[in-house]
Amino acid sequence: MGKAAQSVEAVHGFDGEMTRKSGEKALKMAGIELKDIDVAQFYDAFTINIIDQLSGYGFCKRGEEGAFIEEGNIRLGGAIPSNTSGTELSWGYLHVWTHFIEAIRQLRGQAGECQVKDAEICLVTGGLSAIDSGLAAACFILRR
């Protein structure tokens, strides 16, 4: 295992380190803070991906993801409406393209019943990928 692999969680990207770094860099480049994001489209090839990213990007603390979701925070009208079209877990795995399509619909106000009111800023994330012995995460900020 390479330098990035310090624990079993780190090997699989579930320690939050890659998402934390990716999110910090994207927010800085966009000149915004986490609280400015109106809607999120999280990479979700597996259910664990959404859970990992909620705390990794800082929407809640590690270990509090379940309660955060149960409180309705990722629902339409919640603190951070997420994966508003159902994305990869619901209708098709196109490795992040479904997320970009839904983000664009949200920002154009064309998401129909799933529309987040007055959505101006959307966070879109890509999957964790093994690159040699390390991992990488992608985070994009789209603005209307």
- What pLDDT, in 10s, does the model give residues 74-116? 999 999 999 998 877 777 666 778 889 999 999 999 999 999 9
Q: Residue 131: its pLDDT value, please? A: 46
d(CA 27, CA 19): 12
Number of domains in the chain: 1
pLDDT at residue 137, rounded to an integer? 76
Residue among 10, 73, 71 at smallest CA distance from 42: 73
- Cα–Cα distance for residue pair 141/10, rounded to 1 Å: 25
Look up residue 112 and give its DSSP letter.
G
Q: Provide the pLDDT for residue 102.
A: 93
Domain that holds residue 99: 8-143
Low-confidence ranges of the chain (pLDDT < 70): 1-15, 92-94, 127-136
Q: How far apart are CA 79 and CA 70, in angstroms?
A: 12
For residue 3, tell me if it sits in a domain. no
Q: What is the per-residue pLDDT for 8? A: 52
Residue 79 belongs to a domain: yes
Domain-located, residue 58: yes
- Residue 2 falls inside a structural domain: no
Residue in the block written with tokens 């986490």: 34
Does any domain span residue 85? yes
Give me the pLDDT at residue 5, please.
Answer: 47
Threshold 0.75, pTM exceeds: yes
- 42 domain residue, yes or no: yes
